[in-house]
Amino acid sequence: MTTVGLIGSGNIGGTVARLAVAAGHDVVLSNSRGPETLKDLVAELGPRARAATPAEAAAAGHLVVVTIPLRAYREVPAAPLAGKTVIDTNNYYPERDGHFPELDDESTTTSELLQAHLPESRVVKAFNNIYFAHLRALARPAGAADRSALPIAGDDAGAKAAATAFLDSLGYDAVDVGPLAEGWRFQRDTAAYAGLYSADPNDWERPAARNAEQVRAALAAARRYADS
């Protein structure tokens, strides 16, 4: 099994950690506030989990999940991530992150920003388009009739294969959207964003399984912000 490093251990990071431990992976958790602030989560997860600094989590992970506010992406330690597959869950919220002109004019995407910051890593965009409670609730074994799919994007075929295998172990199929530049298709406010996995827009908390065909249809319906 894989050791998964987590840079960021909030709603999405904590959920990925829970699913990973349930699948038999070891996890190394980190956040910006220090390992001591993660003791309750580590205690919940048990002996397969430990807390560390972001640099230590990056060094320990065979695969590393970066799940922090976009505004902090430059703080991700680059050196210990060299040569590794890095799964990026970032979304752009200007009211939280401040404005990024290159994202506002859609000349790049969030995961391309992280890839530029981590030139020796292999970034794959995933987990950004699903509400954390739905991510936890919808996980199913391989072959289950109600198994959901999640989109991924990346520039490296080997990294996407590693991400696909990781998603499979957590309980999800993967839909390959193409290169990182195509990651806009499941960014904030697109048809393939979080509402896709909600059973009813008026009942946000109730999850709904979405298979690969349904995810592909939502991706095909995506429109850039400038065209919306």
Q: Dump pLDDT digits (tens) for 126-150.
A: 999 999 999 999 999 999 999 999 9
Q: Which helix (H) or strand (E) holds 137?
A: helix 132-137
% the chain with pLDDT above 70: 100
Q: What is the pLDDT of residue 178?
A: 98
DSSP secondary structure letter of residue 10: S
Residue 8 · residue 57 · CB < 8 Å: no
Q: Of 50, 48, 6, 61, which is closest to residue 31 (Cα–Cα)?
A: 6
d(CA 85, CA 46): 25
pLDDT, tens only, 161-209: 999 999 999 999 999 999 999 999 999 999 999 999 999 988 888 999 9
Residue 34 reports pLDDT greater than 90: yes
Q: Can you point out the beta strands (E) in 75-182?
A: 85-88, 122-125, 149-154, 173-176
Q: Radius of gyration (Cα) for the chain, nearest Å?
A: 16
Two tokens, residue 176: 């390959």
Q: Can you point out the beta strands (E) in 68-194?
A: 85-88, 122-125, 149-154, 173-176
Q: What is the pLDDT of residue 202?
A: 85
d(CA 33, CA 42): 15
pLDDT, tens only, 74-132: 999 999 999 999 999 999 999 999 999 999 999 999 999 999 999 999 999 999 999 99
Q: What is the pLDDT of residue 228?
A: 77
Q: What is the pLDDT of residue 213?
A: 98
